[in-house]
Structure 1
Amino acid sequence: MGTRKFREIVQINYERAIEVIQTGDLLFCSGTYLISEFIKKASQSDMSHVAFLFKWNGRVLVFESVEQAGVRIIPLLHYVSNYDNSGKKYKGSLYIARHEKLIDSAFDEALLSPMLGKGIDSLNQQYAQAEIMRILTRIQLGIGQRKNQNEFICSEFVDQCFQQIGIQFARGEGDFIYPEHIAADQRVFPLFELVV
C-alpha cells in the first residue's frame, strides 16, 4: 500500500496551506463516508478520493469528479468548513501532494494550460444511476474500463487531465486506476496533511 508515505507527515492549517499550494497539486482524501470506506477497502488503500488543485484570484479551487455531481470545481475552503453545503468540514483526512514534474521552481504554470483545459471541457458531466452502479461494480471486481470518455471516477479524471501535460499514472489489472495508484506513484510526494 503506497499510501503509507502519507502517514505521520506535517500538519498545517488552511490559512498556511493556501500560501504553499500551487496549481497542479493533488488533493487526496481518506473519507469516513460509506462510499469512501468501500473504495478504501476495495483498493486496499488509505485513500478514497483524489482531485487536483489550482489557484485563481487568491483562491484555491478543487477540480474533481464525484458520484453525485460528476466533474465539478469547488473552493478548497468548502472541504474545511462547508463540505456539500453541510456547514461542516469533510469527514476524514485531507492530504496535499505534488508530482515531481511540478516541484521544479522553474516550472512554468502556463504549461498546465492543457490540463486545466481538459478539466474545464469535462465540467458538469453527469452520471446516471446506472453509471454509478457500473463504476461501483468495476471497483469491486477490479475489471473493465470506462466506456464513455465523458464519464469519470475521480482517479480516471485526474489521470486524464495529467496526461495532457505528459504525466501518466500506473494502473492496476484491467487498466483500472484507483486513487491508490496515483498516491503510490514514486513521483508523487506528500507535502502535508490539511487540518482545520
Structure 2
Amino acid sequence: MGTNKFQGIHQLHYEKAMGKIQTGDLLFCSGSYRVSEFIKKASNSFMSHVAFLFEWNDRVLVFESVENVGVRIVPLMHYMTNYENTGKKYNGALFTARHDKLIDPYFDRTLLDILVGTAIDLLNRNYDQTEIIRILTRIKLGIGQHKDNYEYICSEFVDHCFRQIGVHFPRSKEGFIYPEHIASDSNVYPLFEIIS
C-alpha cells in the first residue's frame, strides 16, 4: 500500500489550505461511507476517491467523477460544509498532493489550461458503472480487462485529464487505475490534510 505516505502528514484548516492550493493539485479522499470502505478494501488502499483542484476567483473547485452523477465540478467548500447537500461535512479525511511535474520551475503553466479544458469538455460524462463491475470481477475472480470508453470512474477521469499534459499514472496489469495507483505514484507528493 503506497498511500501510507499520506498518514500523519501536516494538517491545515480549510481557510489556510485555500491559500496553498494550486490548480492541478490532487484531492484524495479516505471516506467512511459504505462504498468508500468497499473501494479501500478492494484496492488495498487508504484512499477511496481522487479528484483534482482548480483555483478560480478566490475559490477552489473540485473536478471529479462520482457515482450516479458522472463528471462534475463542485466547490471544495461543499466537502467541508455541505457534502452532497446533506448540510454536513464529508465523512472522512481529505488530503492534497501535487505531481512533481507541477512543482518543476520550468513547467509550462499554460498546460494547466489544457488540463482544465479537458475536464470542462468531459463535464456531465457518465460515471462508468460497468468499470466498477469489471474491477469487482477482476478482484473476485481474477479475470477481466479495462476497456476505454467515454465513461469514467474517479481515477480514470483524473488519469485522462493528466495524460493530456504528459503525466502518466501507473495502472494494474489489467489496465485498471484506482485512487491507490495515483496516490502511490512516486511523482505525487503529499501536501497536507485539510481539516475544518
TM-score, with structure 2 as normaliser:
0.93
Aligned partner of 1:186 in structure 2 is 186
| Residues 58-83 of structure 1: CA deviation (Å, up to 9, x unaligned) | 10000000012100000000001000
| Residues 109-161 of structure 1: CA deviation (Å, up to 9, x unaligned) | 3221111111011001134xxx52x232222233322342x200000000000
CA distance in 1, matches of 2:137, 2:4: 24
In structure 2, give the amino acid aligned to 1:152.
Y
Equivalent residues in 2 for 1:25-104, closer than 5 Å? 25-104=25-104
Q: Does the CA contact (< 8 Å) of 1:115 and 1:164 recur in 2?
A: yes
CA distance in 1, matches of 2:160, 2:107: 20
Deviation at 1:106, TM superposition (A): 4.9
Deviation at 1:91, TM superposition (A): 0.6
Q: Does the CA contact (< 8 Å) of 2:155 and 2:179 recur in 1?
A: yes
Equivalent residues in 2 for 1:11-22, closer than 5 Å? 11-22=11-22
Equivalent residues in 2 for 1:93-172, closer than 5 Å? 93-127=93-127, 132=129, 134-142=130-138, 143-148=144-149, 150-172=150-172
| Residues 29-62 of structure 1: CA deviation (Å, up to 9, x unaligned) | 0001111111101100000000000100110000
Q: Does the CA contact (< 8 Å) of 1:135 and 1:153 recur in 2?
A: yes
Q: Please provide the CA RMSD for this pair.
A: 1.2
Structure with more of its chain in helix, by fraction: 1
In structure 2, give the amino acid aligned to 1:138.
R
CA distance in 2, matches of 1:168, 1:43: 19
Deviation at 1:107, TM superposition (A): 3.5
TM-score, with structure 1 as normaliser:
0.93
Instruction: Give % identity.
Output: 61
Q: Does the CA contact (< 8 Å) of 2:9 and 2:193 recur in 1?
A: yes
Deviation at 1:105, TM superposition (A): 4.3
In structure 2, the gaps of 5 or more residues are 139-143
In structure 2, give the amino acid aligned to 1:12.
L
